[in-house]
């Protein structure tokens, strides 16, 4: 593939200065952060690819919406605007704003899960897994085997492995499976899309066994773009129609709106059947954890911005440019012989750290090694999506060996230019050239019991 960049369908009206540091400064900063990228100050980062979540640039219409925010505690017009946009796009009878995606999980999951119950997903995101466990359940990932071969380019590597799903249901007993979660796109597998056929097949399994299906819909618009581009029969459908069909297969959805909703804070959940008794229970949880149901933890102005962002996020020109950024990075990495989860994902490029450092074992965290090298090389911040992030088995306390060791370059929406992406690729080329000289990884010197990767302290193992 050629490294062709799709030009931005916008121009820039407001700028935010960033600063390049020296290598020596960065070595000091990362040591002070105990080799944890989450401990760095943003001002010490040049290109911040830690996440695409809440880091996007809002449009003039979204900023204008901020001024229209109705901050009434109950019945705000901003709430009505947001829920009417969400119902129009997703087609669910009940839609509830919450402050971010994990709040939706906290409110909804206890209604489906408790001790002894399982959630099966094409892959759980880390907070999703945590909320399954907090509700007392256990999380099982069931992605197609193709996802586990980063260098094999295949479409829809985010799909659920349907035969294995049925086998798991048989082994666990359908009555013990509280929820089947379809994460679109599949973040942990590399932002890989899920096909419409797979949504249809999983939904049929859910109906057959009477198990509710939840769509973890953080990146529904990017997923729809891939369906339109790569799945037979969808080329002439609008993104909005594809989104609507995707949601039609779920019973409930949880959503972090900080991704495809292009806002800095926000989330929601939905229940397809607005008359379901579930709605009353969910509202009660929402009022306890998030706030009254007409704001659910969001300010009126943020609901306004999200109502606009939901429509901007499904614009095809925007999505073509956005996925084009990922394809551009991918094509330049191909030229340099650097491997990644191929094809590129919808929100980022997931570098294959196992291939970069084949001699570093999972328990020395090769993807964390790559993330730290990138920071030291050029002030680029990205994160480990591998064994370091997976943490320890909650039952045995043993380090889990992740199927992947990815360093994720997550690309914020409408923020960085082609030249920024070139800085990233050139830093990676420099690291690849000296990768064989980096012989050992890191050990954890302190870790908290849950979601340890955000706070753990690490120390370089002497060579
Ligand atoms: N589900 C998925 C698939 C996610 O990627 C995230 C967040 C969440 C749920 C939780 O949403 O952050 O709004 O509470 N992912 C971010 C990331 C943090 O960097 O991938 P949240």
Nearest CA residue ID for atom 8, ligand 1: 101
216 is catalytic: yes
126 is catalytic: yes
pLDDT along the chain (463 residues), means of 10: 86 96 98 98 98 98 98 98 98 98 97 98 93 95 95 95 98 98 96 98 98 98 98 98 98 98 98 97 96 97 98 98 98 97 97 97 98 98 95 89 94 98 98 97 94 95 90
Count CB-CB contacts under 10 A for residue 152. 12
CA distances from 165 to 112, 168, 192, 348 (A): 18, 5, 19, 27
Count CB-CB contacts under 10 A for residue 17. 5
- What's the CA gap between 232 and 462, in Å, rounded? 53
pLDDT, residue 1, reads: 54
Q: How far is the CA of 264 from the centre of ligand 1 (A)?
A: 12
Q: How far is the CA of 335 from the centre of ligand 1 (A)?
A: 31
Consecutive H or E run containing 311: helix 300-312
CB distance 325 to 103 below 8 Å: no
pLDDT, residue 443, reads: 97
Which stretches of 193-352 are assigned E, i.e. beta strand? 213-216, 252-256, 267-271, 348-352
pLDDT, residue 2, reads: 62
Q: How far is the CA of 53 from the centre of ligand 1 (A)?
A: 7
Ligand 1 neighbours, Cβ below 6 Å, are: 51, 53, 100-102, 125, 127-128, 183, 187, 216, 218, 256, 258, 267, 410
Collapsed DSSP state (helix, strand, coil) of residue 283: helix
Substitution site in 48, 50, 52, 53 for ligand 1 pocket (most atoms within 8 Å of beta carbon): 53
Substitution site in 97, 102, 218, 371 for ligand 1 pocket (most atoms within 8 Å of beta carbon): 218
For residue 256, give the ligand 1 atom closest to its CA: 13
The catalytically annotated residue of 125, 318, 362, 365 is: 125
Nearest CA residue ID for atom 12, ligand 1: 101
pLDDT, residue 289, reads: 95
For residue 52, give the ligand 1 atom closest to its CA: 19
The catalytically annotated residue of 85, 119, 218, 410 is: 218
CB distance 93 to 274 below 8 Å: yes
CB distance 304 to 65 below 8 Å: yes
pLDDT, residue 364, reads: 97
pLDDT, residue 126, reads: 86
3 is catalytic: no
The catalytically annotated residue of 44, 141, 161, 216 is: 216
The catalytically annotated residue of 32, 72, 73, 436 is: 73
CB distance 123 to 390 below 8 Å: no
């Amino acid at each position: 593939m050629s490294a062709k960049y799709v030009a931005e369908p916008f121009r820039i009206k407001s700028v935010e200065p960033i600063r390049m540091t020296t290598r020596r400064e960065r070595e000091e900063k990362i040591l002070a952060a105990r080799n944890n990228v989450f401990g760095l100050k943003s001002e010490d980062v040049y290109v911040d690819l830690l996440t695409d979540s809440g880091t996007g640039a809002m449009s003039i219409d979204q900023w204008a919406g901020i001024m229209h925010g109705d901050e009434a505690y109950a019945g705000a017009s901003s709430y009505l605007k947001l829920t009417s946009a969400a119902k129009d796009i997703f087609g669910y009878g009940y839609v509830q704003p919450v402050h971010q995606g994990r709040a939706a999980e906290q409110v909804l999951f206890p209604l489906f899960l408790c001790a002894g119950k399982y959630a099966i997903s094409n892959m759980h995101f880390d907070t999703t897994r945590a909320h399954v466990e907090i509700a007392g359940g256990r999380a099982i990932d069931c992605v197609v085997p193709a996802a586990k071969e980063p260098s094999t380019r295949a479409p829809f590597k985010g799909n659920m492995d349907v035969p294995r799903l049925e086998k798991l249901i048989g082994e666990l007993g359908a009555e013990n499976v509280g929820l089947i979660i379809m994460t679109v796109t599949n973040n942990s597998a590399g932002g890989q899309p899920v096909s419409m056929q797979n949504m249809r097949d999983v939904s049929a399994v859910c109906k057959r066994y009477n198990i509710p299906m939840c769509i973890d819909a953080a990146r529904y618009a990017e997923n729809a773009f891939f369906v339109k581009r790569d799945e037979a029969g969808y080329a002439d459908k609008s993104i909005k129609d594809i989104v609507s069909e995707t949601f039609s297969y779920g019973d409930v959805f949880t959503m972090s709106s900080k991704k495809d909703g292009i806002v800095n804070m926000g989330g929601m959940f939905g229940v397809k059947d607005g008359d379901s008794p579930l709605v009353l229970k969910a509202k009660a949880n929402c009022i306890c954890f998030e706030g009254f149901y007409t704001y659910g933890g969001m300010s009126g102005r943020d609901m306004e911005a999200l109502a606009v962002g939901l429509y901007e996020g499904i614009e095809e020109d925007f999505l073509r440019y956005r996925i084009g950024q990922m394809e551009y990075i991918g094509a330049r990495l191909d030229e340099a012989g650097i491997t990644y989860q191929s094809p590129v994902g919808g929100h980022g490029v997931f570098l294959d750290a196992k291939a970069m450092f084949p001699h570093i074992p999972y328990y020395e965290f090769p993807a964390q090694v790559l993330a730290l090298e990138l920071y030291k090389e050029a002030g680029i911040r990205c994160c480990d999506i591998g064994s370091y992030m997976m943490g320890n088995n909650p039952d045995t306390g043993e380090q889990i060996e992740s199927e992947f060791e990815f360093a994720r370059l997550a690309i914020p929406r409408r923020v960085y230019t082609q030249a920024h992406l070139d800085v990233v690729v050139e830093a990676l080329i420099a690291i690849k050239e000296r990768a064989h000289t980096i012989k050992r990884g890191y050990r954890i010197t302190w870790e908290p019991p849950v979601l340890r990767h955000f706070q753990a302290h690490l120390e370089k193992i002497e060579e």
